[in-house]
């Protein structure tokens, strides 16, 4: 297969665009590609290529787009990007590349998309972008002036998130998750709010620390943001920035994930998130009542508040009743100690409900005929009493039901 393909290729020296993605090609990248000197776009994604990138591949001086993603390539990425200065998109993700990112990569001033995620790349990012040996270059401000998409997640990168990342005005997609990054001054800096075009900001699973009020005041001015994920870092402090959250009427945030930090309190926090669909604040130290502003996010589809210290579902008589789009509600591992308010079971679209590991008591209300879409129901490790309600057994979509470790009594129905 490989030989046949390459014969064809070598005959076609005039080739400008070559797409051999999904072709089942195995073995190393062979040298004939380097004779295709007119090539501007080379796509070898989704094959079984292994070995390292031959540096001859990067002799293709006209190359603007190179995609080697989803292969088994390994070794260091060769430090010869100064030969292909026209490169605009580079996709190396989902391989086994090791070592540091080569310094010449950071001279590619025309880059608009760089994706090196899901490799074993290690070491720090350069503090400064290197000059390109062009006289007078240092006077240019942005050195990645066209970069829109920067994806370095799931590697072994460490050290500080360099200042130049905060200075790429065109960036709309920034994902650095699953590395060991820290920020310059320890906490998430306000200068990230220079990135006015950001739509996706994912910093989860790093070593970022900081007080939570610092996070909103800088980031929540990014009005195009649709995903903000700072989960599993070392962020701590009260969720109580009354200033920064007051003007959020146009924040197009669709997902806010701050789970697994050390966030405490929320009392003064008053967000207004008209588009928020996905909210996760689980594994923090939030206590007291589930705050009113959460009950007011009409757009929510997924709400996960598990493993906090909430003692009450809400300040109002019919909690969550306005969240009519909710399909998944997880309140597990809190200290809720009332009975289940029957209004909770008005959420007709609910497919997943987890109330396990609380101190909920009383009878389980017999109103499951309202929840006909329910697929999973976890009520285990509470203090529920009485019989299982008959309406529970009419749930035809249910695939998982766990009510262990309660004080439920009586027989199960003979027939469903
Ligand atoms: C590539 O080009 C070089 C020099 O032009 C030539 O010697 C070599 O045979 C070519 N390789 C292939 C596989 O065509
Ligand atoms: C590449 O894969 C082939 C089998 O497809 C294997 O024989 C060869 O040893 C591999 N080479 C490397 C460098 O892993
Ligand atoms: C770090 O702190 C110094 C001194 O407080 C400040 O001048 C600088 O702007 C901060 N850097 C960032 C990225 O926030
Ligand atoms: C995480 O950051 C702290 C300082 O903020 C530092 O002492 C520690 O070594 C860092 N951990 C890793 C794994 O980089
Ligand atoms: C919120 O909006 C008001 C009125 O437009 C303005 O005066 C205030 O500075 C804004 N607050 C923030 C934190 O942007
Ligand atoms: C539901 O929303 C309406 C309209 O925004 C509001 O008046 C009412 O107080 C809300 N109810 C609850 C229980 O939050
Ligand atoms: C529930 O817990 C709160 C706070 O710990 C307590 O004040 C209240 O009496 C408890 N209610 C019940 C029914 O146990």
What domains sit in the chain, N to C, each tagged with a CATH number?
299-306+316-330+338-416 (3.80.10.10)
Q: Taking a C-beta distance cutoff of 8 angstroms, is the pair 248, 273 a contact?
A: yes
pLDDT at 386 over 90: yes
CB distance 327 to 296 below 8 Å: no
Under a CB-based contact definition with an 8 Å cutoff, are residues 222 and 195 in contact?
yes
pLDDT at position 344 = 77
Residue minimizing CA distance to atom 11 of ligand 4: 207
**pLDDT for residue 237 is more than 70:** no
**CB of 312 closer than 6 angstroms to any ligand 7 atom:** no
Asked whether 334 lines ligand 4 (CB < 6 A), one says: no
Instruction: With a cut of 80, say whether residue 36 has pLDDT above it.
Output: yes
* Distance set, CA 373 to CA 53, 300, 328, 349, 353 (Å): 51, 17, 11, 6, 11
DSSP H or E stretch at residue 6: helix 2-11
pLDDT score at 289 = 83
Is residue 195 scored above 90 in pLDDT?
A: no
- The pLDDT of residue 114 is above 90: yes
Instruction: Return phi, psi of residue 384, to 5°.
Output: -65, 145
Rounded to whole angstroms, how far apart are CA atoms 81 and 58? 7
- Best residue among 30, 33, 35, 38 to mutate for probing ligand 1's pocket (most ligand atoms within 8 Å of CB) is 35
The 3-state DSSP class for residue 343 equals helix
Kindly state if the Cβ of 311 falls inside 6 Å of ligand 7. Answer: yes
CB 192 within 8 A of CB 163: no
The residue-averaged pLDDT of 212-241 equals 64
- pLDDT for position 99: 96
Identity of the highest mean pLDDT range in 3-7, 186-190, 303-307: 303-307
Give the global pTM.
0.76
343 lines ligand 6 (CB under 6 A): no
CB of 122 closer than 6 angstroms to any ligand 4 atom:
no
pLDDT at 332 over 50: yes
User: How high is the pLDDT of residue 319?
Assistant: 82
Contact at 8 Å (CB) between 389 and 364? yes
Mean local confidence (pLDDT), 11-27 = 85
Q: What's the sign of the alpha-carbon dihedral 107, 112, 116, 122?
A: positive
Ligand 7 close to Cβ of residue 373 (< 6 A): no
C-alpha dihedral (308, 312, 317, 323), degrees to nearest 10: 10
Is a pLDDT exceeding 70 seen at residue 136?
no
**What pLDDT shows up at residue 131?**
53
Q: Of 248, 305, 250, 306, nearest to 279 (Cα)?
A: 305
What average pLDDT score do residues 103-128 get?
92
The least confident of 217-221, 365-369, 399-403, 407-411 is 217-221
> Is 35 a pocket residue for ligand 1 (Cβ < 6 Å)?
yes
Q: Which of 285, 93, 374 is nearest to 364 (CA)?
A: 374
Residue 388 has which token pair? 């299982």
Question: Nearest CA to 74 among 34, 118, 106, 40?
Answer: 118
The overall average pLDDT reported for the chain is: 82
pLDDT score, position 121: 97
> For 239-261, what is each residue's pLDDT tens digit?
544 334 433 443 445 556 665 56
pLDDT confidence bin for 7, thresholds 50/70/90: very low
Separation of CA 409 and ligand 7 centre (Å): 24
Per-residue pLDDT at 257: 61
Task: Tell me which residue has its CA closest to atom 3 in ligand 3.
Answer: 185
β-bridge mates for residue 181, sequence order? 159
**Which is higher by pLDDT, 135 or 215?**
215
| 24 Cβ inside 6 Å of ligand 2 | no
Q: How far is CA 82 from the centre of its chain?
A: 32
Angle at 150 between CA 52 and CA 208, to 5 degrees: 105
- Residue 144 above 80 pLDDT? yes
Write out pLDDT tens, residues 158-178.
998 888 888 898 999 999 999
* Confidence bin at 119 (pLDDT 50/70/90): very high
Residue nearest atom 6 in ligand 2 by C-alpha distance: 27
Distances (CA, A) of 312 to 150, 271, 290, 330, 331: 41, 20, 6, 14, 10
Q: What are the residues whose beta carbons fall under 8 Å from the beta carbon of 372, sequence distance 6 or more?
A: 348, 395, 396, 397
Determine which helix (DSSP H) or strand (DSSP E) holds 200, and give its type and residue range: strand 200-202
Q: Rounded CA gap, 319 and 300, in Å? A: 14
> Can you tell me the mean pLDDT for 189-210?
81
* pLDDT at residue 243 in the model: 33
pLDDT surpassing 80 at residue 20: yes
């Amino acid at each position: 297969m490989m030989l046949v393909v390459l014969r064809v290729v070598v005959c076609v020296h005039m080739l400008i665009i070559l797409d051999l993605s999904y072709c089942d090609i195995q073995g190393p990248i062979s040298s004939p590609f380097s004779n295709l000197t007119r090539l501007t776009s080379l796509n070898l994604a989704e094959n079984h290529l292994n070995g390292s990138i031959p540096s001859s591949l990067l002799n293709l001086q006209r190359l603007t787009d190179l995609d080697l993603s989803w292969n088994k390539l390994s070794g260091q990425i060769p430090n010869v990007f100064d030969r292909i200065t026209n490169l605009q998109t580079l996709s190396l993700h989902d391989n086994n590349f090791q070592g540091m990112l080569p310094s010449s990569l950071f001279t590619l001033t025309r880059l608009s998309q760089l994706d090196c995620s899901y490799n074993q790349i290690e070491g720090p990012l350069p503090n400064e972008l290197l000059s390109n040996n062009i006289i007078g270059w240092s006077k240019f401000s942005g050195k990645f002036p066209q970069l829109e998409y920067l994806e370095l997640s799931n590697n072994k990168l460490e050290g500080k998130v360099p200042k130049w990342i905060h200075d790429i005005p065109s960036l709309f997609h920034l994902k650095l998750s699953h590395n060991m990054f820290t920020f310059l001054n320890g906490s998430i800096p306000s200068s990230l709010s220079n990135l006015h075009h950001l739509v996706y900001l994912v910093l989860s699973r790093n070593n970022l620390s900081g007080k939570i009020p610092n996070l909103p005041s800088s980031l929540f001015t990014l009005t195009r943001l649709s995903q903000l994920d700072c989960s599993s870092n070392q962020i701590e402090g009260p969720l109580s920035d009354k200033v920064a959250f007051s003007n959020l009427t146009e924040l197009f945030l669709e997902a806010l994930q701050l789970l697994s930090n050390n966030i405490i309190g929320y009392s003064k926090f008053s967000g207004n998130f008209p588009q928020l669909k996905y909210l996760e604040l689980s594994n923090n130290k939030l206590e007291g009542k589930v705050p009113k502003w959460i009950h007011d996010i009409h757009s929510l589809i997924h709400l996960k508040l598990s493993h906090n210290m909430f003692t009450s579902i809400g300040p109002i008589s019919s909690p969550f009743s306005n969240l009519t789009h909710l399909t998944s509600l997880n309140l597990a591992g809190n200290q809720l100690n009332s009975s289940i308010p029957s209004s909770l079971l008005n959420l007709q679209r609910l497919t997943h409900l987890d109330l396990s590991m609380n101190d909920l008591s009383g009878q389980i209300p017999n109103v499951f005929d309202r929840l006909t879409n329910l697929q999973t129901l976890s009520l285990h490790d509470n203090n529920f009493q009485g019989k299982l309600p008959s309406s529970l057994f009419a749930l035809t979509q249910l695939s998982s039901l766990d009510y262990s470790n309660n004080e439920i009594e009586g027989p199960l129905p003979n027939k469903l």
